[in-house]
Amino acid sequence: MSSSEIITPTVHRAVDAAIGDLVRAERIGGSWFVSLPLIYPDGSFATVRIEQRGDLFRVSDNGFTWREAEDIDVSKRSFGQIAGAIAEGIGVTVDERLLYVEVPVVMLHRAICDVAETSWRIIDRLFERAFADNEEEEALAETLTSKLIGLFGQGMVDPKATVFGASTNEWTVSAIVKFPDHNAVFQAVGSHSNSIYKASTEFRDLSALKSGPRLIAVVKDTASLGQKLALLSPAKVLEQGQADELYRKAAA
């Protein structure tokens, strides 16, 4: 037997720990909450609630899907339309803000998978629609890219680059400035809520990386963002018209 075929206790424990992090179950009162490795855009896991009702089991999302949708300002009407269309195709019931199925014990495994998949697909569709590029952000990104090339040179700037976050979600950012020992991510952020929430989710995901990049949000005017400006933390926030030296310092 080769050394590569030997599974050491250390490897065994590491695999067990990894699996334990992928699927988790917790009993609270008379219900079980099960988290599955279906990851929402903000990095959280899809979770279902299991309750026994006589001879049947109700598997629901416990309203978690709606709460994820609320975070990006989705209206009840939009949520209902998209959730209804997706859930119908999978065989899951939508009751206003709740997704659920009721099944006998022999179908419990399938029910858990169906509700979790439905939840994930709804949020994926909502994020896709909410975070569609808007004209303000695009115009700001074009100006930003030109500014960065002027400051750092064409060879150091990668416009509309992609980068993976800690959640393994792939983000398309306005530009990345590449230094020998680190990268700096610049993201143009419009004043619309969707642009702000997208950037906020992106920054949280990227900041969770070990030895992650510098994070810089560029806005036209901080005053126009109001209280939502705080959502751009942990990034450094710069205004479009600020001095070149502040851009160099933020990226360094």
Q: What is the per-residue pLDDT for 131?
A: 65
Q: What is the per-residue pLDDT for 188?
A: 96
Q: What is the per-residue pLDDT for 134?
A: 67
Please identify every stretch of the chain with a pLDDT value under 50, giving residue numbers as ranges.
Answer: 1, 133
Q: What is the per-residue pLDDT for 176?
A: 97
For 162, the enclosing helix (H) or strand (E) is strand 162-164
Q: Return the SS3 of 35.
A: strand
137 close to 190: Cβ distance less than 8 angstroms: yes
Q: What is the pLDDT of residues 159-187, one digit of tens each?
A: 999 999 999 889 999 999 999 999 999 99
Q: What is the per-residue pLDDT for 4?
A: 54
Q: State how beta strands 214-219 and 183-189 pair.
A: parallel
To 5 degrees, how large is the angle CA 225–CA 192–CA 96? 115
Full-model pTM:
0.56
Q: What is the per-residue pLDDT for 1?
A: 45
Q: What is the per-residue pLDDT for 111?
A: 97
Q: What is the per-residue pLDDT for 78?
A: 86
Residue 234: cis peptide before it, omega within 30 degrees of 0: yes
Spatial separation of the C-alpha atoms in residues 154 and 177, rounded to whole Å:
10
Spatial separation of the C-alpha atoms in residues 152 and 19, rounded to whole Å:
44
